[in-house]
Every structure is written in structure tokens, then in C-alpha cells.
Structure 1
Amino acid sequence: MTGFIVPGSPEWLRLITPSKVPAILGVSRFKSQFTLWHEMAGSVAPAPVSERQQDDYDYGHAAEAAAAEYWKWKHAGWRLSRGEVQLRNPSLPFAHLATIDRRASRGRSRRVVEVKTARDLYEYGDDGSGEVPADYAAQVLTQQLISGWHDDADLVVWPQYGMPRIYKVPFNEAVAAAIVARCAAWVESLRAGTPPNLDDSITCYETVRALHPDIDDVEIEIDEGLAVDYLELDARRKEIEAAARGAKTKVLDAMGRARVAVVGDVKVADRRAGKHSIALYPATKNLSQIQEHAA
């Protein structure tokens, strides 16, 4: 295709893109279905990019160049595009666009190469299984779907701490067909003005706040059950936050100067240097393994 469409632009926002598919499927760790729907419908503006986020984006673009060189060392005989490649697939029944970090080619073969940055592999979403997180897998598979390049895609993770890693993402026809059906239904919901249900994510909460910025000096009757749930949960939240803070303090004290806390060979948490002090990051995904160990 000709004419590069800038990701994040108003034109880009109206299109189905691989980066939006995780939210459309409800598997995104970063954005809710409700939020994406209202952004695409134009009822709320996407959250402004903070200075820290822009710094992360700038680092990510710089890391792409290093990741590309690393990938080429690992794939002798292959060539990479110099920059991002944008593609459309005329067979898809909705307006869409794929922006792919790099196009790999060797002879007639083509392959998607996507780059992600993270503080470490755990922050990226690898809990030690070596598997690609569902949201990133959905994004890359959609890139394969739109591009028509069905060879295994390569997802290069460039961590700030540790060695880069290349994950393979195989193409799956059944999953691709499900993505097409879900995206078509999503576009129809936009036409019909039917948003997804609310959920308990932070982005959904922030979107509801943005949808109702004004305050009218009136009262409104709400469901009694909803009122009880809200007030009971808020009371429990304060108790749980205090208990969690106490447990966190004990873990930090037990760790001393250590970087990682473990039970057996299972990670519990790790200490990282924050902007002003040391921060503790829990390995919550490992809870079931630790519970089994303790049983």
C-alpha cells in the first residue's frame, strides 16, 4: 500500500489493527473492550501520551534497530525491511490496517518480525513457560492473517535487563477465522451503537469517568444490590490493602538485599530499583505453584 498511516492518528483509530485485536478479543492486559469501543466510536479521546510513555515509545523505536541486527545474526540468508511495513488484505470484510515492525524475506518466503521491549521477560509476560502471552500472540497472528505470510512469525523481546529472546508464533487457521468473525461483529456493534459490557479493569473505570465529566446537581436512585456491593467491597478493600501492605513489608524485610525471593525453585517476588527507592514486584502468576508446594 502507499501512504503511511501514523499509528495513533484519527484515521488509524477508526481501523481494525493487530494492536487492537487483543482488546477486541478481551485478552489485553492494557486496555478493556469497553475503552477501545468508545475510542473507536469517538465518544472518548484516547488517553494522552505521558512524558514517561513517550520515553518508552522512543526507547522502543531505538531498540527495534538493535533487535533487527540481533535477528539477522540468528537468521543467516534472510533480509529485513529497513523499517515498518503497512499492509491490507482485500479479502477481509472490514476496514483494517497492519503495521509490521519488520518484513523478513528470503527468496519467495516472507515472515513477520515483531519487536517488543520490556524491563525483563517477566514484565513482558513470560512466566517461565516460554510461551507468548495471549495478547501479543493475538496481535502477531493478526499480522500474519492480514499480510498473508503464514510462516512462523518471530517476536523479538528486547529487555532492559537480560538477553533478548526470539519467540516463535505459528499461524493457526481456526484462530484466524475466529478473529475475523469477532472483528466483523465488533465493527457491526460500532455501527449499531452497542458497546461491550462494563468490566473491572482500570481503563474501563477511567473511560466511564471520561464519558460523564460534568456534574448535575440532582440525585439518582440506583439498584440496592449494587449499592451494597459497592460499599461492602470498598470497606473490604481498605482492610485488604492494609493486610497486603503488612505482608509486603515482611517479604521485603525477609529478603534483605536479595533481588529475588523464592519458595523452592518458584519465584515469589523480586526487588527492582525504582525512581526514588526499591520496589517489590510480586510473581502473582506463581501462586498456585506455591500453594501446591505448601500443601
Structure 2
Amino acid sequence: MPKLAPGSPEWVRTVTASKVPAILGISRYQSQYALWHEMAGLVDPAPVGEQKQDLFDYGHAAELAAAEYWKYRTTGWRLSTGEVQFTVDDLGFPNAATIDRRASRGRARRIVEVKTARSLEEWGDDGSGEAPADYTAQVTWQMLVSGIHEADIVLWPTYGMPRIYPIEWDRELADEILDRVRTWVASLQAGTPPELDNSIATYECLRRLHPDIDRDAEVELDEDLAAAYLRAVADQKLIDAELRAAKIRVLDAMGRAQYATCRGHRIADRRNGRGDSISLYANTKTDFLEGVPA
């Protein structure tokens, strides 16, 4: 079977490892609703902009460094020079698993998958040294399709040292994922999309789903939906005004300082923007609010 190219019509219809987290509803990047409509051929995949392409290019470059790091930390193994793609003929639906590198040592084989992130917090590591659920599901699918039941994820952070996360083969989890995927494929064949959600991916999918406008056409909204929409817009205007007022007061209090703190907690920092402008960034990771009454 020729290697599937990401973005090709065949790739869109195929259940790939990168799509499995969205199928399960645990992806941080894609929604079930958006992916379903793309795989059903009702909307084209979101176009890859310049910024997203830069991230892809950086990820491919990071693979080279991460592969070398993995070899230094895991002696005696050899790595493929590039990606390796697998498929299983008897699953009853188009499927594929593309792994970043295939490691080999004698008859032993191992999957080596590379992920990038700005930090461990962005990656999702809660300090336990365990890979996040979406990436674990992705690698489990790779193990299921490839038949290689040993795997490592190499995290290549922008800041800090790389880390290696071994992923153990879990037959029960793999069977559960396969059952969920079969249900997903059946929903595509039946034309039954997932329910709407509040994700950005779903919002952008709906914007692409009906690009044309029937001039002067009307749709009667349910009274609850109409009220909920207008109240949300009004509430957002109030929240935006309150946030702007708080930012003004914090900037005024900071003067020329880089950081704003309270009781030992870093609350915000000032950063240089374009030209002579200054931007204020809140420290959303702080636990300061846990000790403050609501």
C-alpha cells in the first residue's frame, strides 16, 4: 500500500493515530464534531497557515534531535531514518499508524514517537512523569496497528531538558479504543454526527460548513437559544470591560516593574510588544486564588 500523505483524500477518510484522540473526545486540538465532518467529506480540513506550518517544520526538525537523544539514552538500538507507516487489512475500515521512528535491536522492535511543547505544563505532565491521555491513546493505536508493543514518547520542550515517557502495552485499553473507533466508523456510514460542543474547532468547522449565504432567508430560533446567545454576548461585553479595567489598574500599579506579585505569588508580568508598546500577561498557573475567598 502506498504511504498515505497527510491532507490527501485517502488520508482524510482513514482512521489514523493522530485522529484517535479526537475520536475518543480527548484531543486538545480537534473536536469530535469537526473531525467527523471532515472524514465524512462535508468540510475540507482546516487550511494550514504559515504559523501552523512553522510549527510542523519545527516538529520535524525536533525529531532529528530527539532521535539522537533517544539513542544516547537507549544504547544498543538502531533507528529508522524516517517515519514508518503501518496498516491492518482485516479491521474492516481504512486505517493507518505512522510512527516517527522504528527502533530495532535484534528481533526486538520499539516505537519512538516525538512530541514538542513549550513546557511540561503545556505538555500536560502533572509531575507524575506520565504522558497525557491523548498522546497515550495515539501511541496505543500505533502499537495496535503496527504490532509493536513497546513504545517511548520523547518530549522535546522549548525550555528544559527532553524527557522520555515509556508507554506500556495495554490490551484492554487497545480493545476499548478499537470498539470506540468501530462505533465512530459506523456513525460515518449512518450519517449520524456527534453532538455539538463549545470548542473552537467545532465553531470553525461550522463556519466552513455553510460558506454560502442565501440572501433574505430566515431561520426561526428556539426561544431559549435566542435568549442564551444574546445574554452571552452581553455578558462577554461586561467581562471584557471588567478585565480591561483590572489590567489598567495593574499596569498603573506596576509602573516600570517587570513582575507583579502578591503574598509571594507572581500575578502578572510586563513584556515588550511591537514598537514601544508593552503587553500584560497574567500568570494563569498560580494557585493564588485558592487562598482568596470568592
TM-score strictly above 0.5: yes
RMSD of aligned Cα (Å): 2.7
Gaps of 5+ in 1: none
Offset at 1:110?
A: 1.4
Which residue of structure 2 lines up, in the alignment, with residue 78 of structure 1? Answer: 77
Against the structure 1 CA distance between its residues 13 and 163, is the aligned structure 2 distance closer, same or farther, given a 3 Å change threshold? Answer: same
Structure-1 separation of matches of 2:8 and 2:261: 43
Against the structure 1 CA distance between its residues 167 and 267, is the aligned structure 2 distance closer, same or farther, given a 3 Å change threshold? Answer: farther
Per-residue CA deviation, residues 138-163 of structure 1 (Å, 9 max, x unaligned), is 11111111112222x21111122221
Larger mean Cα displacement after TM superposition, 127-136 or 112-121: 127-136
Larger mean Cα displacement after TM superposition, 2-11 or 41-50: 2-11
Structure-1 separation of matches of 2:107 and 2:75: 16
Against the structure 1 CA distance between its residues 77 and 251, is the aligned structure 2 distance closer, same or farther, given a 3 Å change threshold? Answer: farther
Per-residue CA deviation, residues 204-241 of structure 1 (Å, 9 max, x unaligned), is 01111111112221222110011111111111122223
Q: Quick one: which of 190, 196, 202 aligns to 1:192?
A: 190
Of structures 1 and 2, the larger Rg is shown by 2
Structure-1 separation of matches of 2:199 and 2:185: 22
Structure-2 separation of matches of 1:209 and 1:55: 24
Amino acid at match of 1:171: W
Which residue of structure 2 lines up, in the alignment, with residue 53 of structure 1? Answer: 52
Q: Does structure 1 residue 280 correspond to structure 2 residue 281?
A: yes
Per-residue CA deviation, residues 173-231 of structure 1 (Å, 9 max, x unaligned), is 22211110111011111111111111101110111111111222122211001111111
Against the structure 1 CA distance between its residues 206 and 76, is the aligned structure 2 distance closer, same or farther, given a 3 Å change threshold? Answer: same
Which residue of structure 1 lines up, in the alignment, with residue 8 of structure 2? Answer: 9
Offset at 1:18?
A: 0.7
Q: Does structure 1 residue 257 correspond to structure 2 residue 258?
A: yes
Structure-2 separation of matches of 1:267 and 1:167: 30
The sequence identity of aligned pairs, in percent, is 57
TM-score by length of 1: 0.87
Contact 2:258 2:269 in 1 (8 A): no
Counting matched residue pairs gives 288
Larger mean Cα displacement after TM superposition, 6-15 or 25-34: 6-15
Offset at 1:115?
A: 0.6
Which residue of structure 2 lines up, in the alignment, with residue 162 of structure 1? Answer: 160
Structure-2 separation of matches of 1:270 and 1:173: 47
Contact 1:272 1:281 in 2 (8 A): no
Per-residue CA deviation, residues 251-276 of structure 1 (Å, 9 max, x unaligned), is 67669324x97976x88667777777
Which residue of structure 2 lines up, in the alignment, with residue 183 of structure 1? Answer: 181
Structure-2 separation of matches of 1:274 and 1:104: 44
Amino acid at match of 2:121: Y
Against the structure 1 CA distance between its residues 261 and 187, is the aligned structure 2 distance closer, same or farther, given a 3 Å change threshold? Answer: farther
Amino acid at match of 2:172: A
Which residue of structure 2 lines up, in the alignment, with residue 229 of structure 1? Answer: 228
TM-score by length of 2: 0.87
Against the structure 1 CA distance between its residues 102 and 195, is the aligned structure 2 distance closer, same or farther, given a 3 Å change threshold? Answer: same
Structure-1 separation of matches of 2:155 and 2:262: 25
Amino acid at match of 2:155: V
Against the structure 1 CA distance between its residues 275 and 70, is the aligned structure 2 distance closer, same or farther, given a 3 Å change threshold? Answer: farther
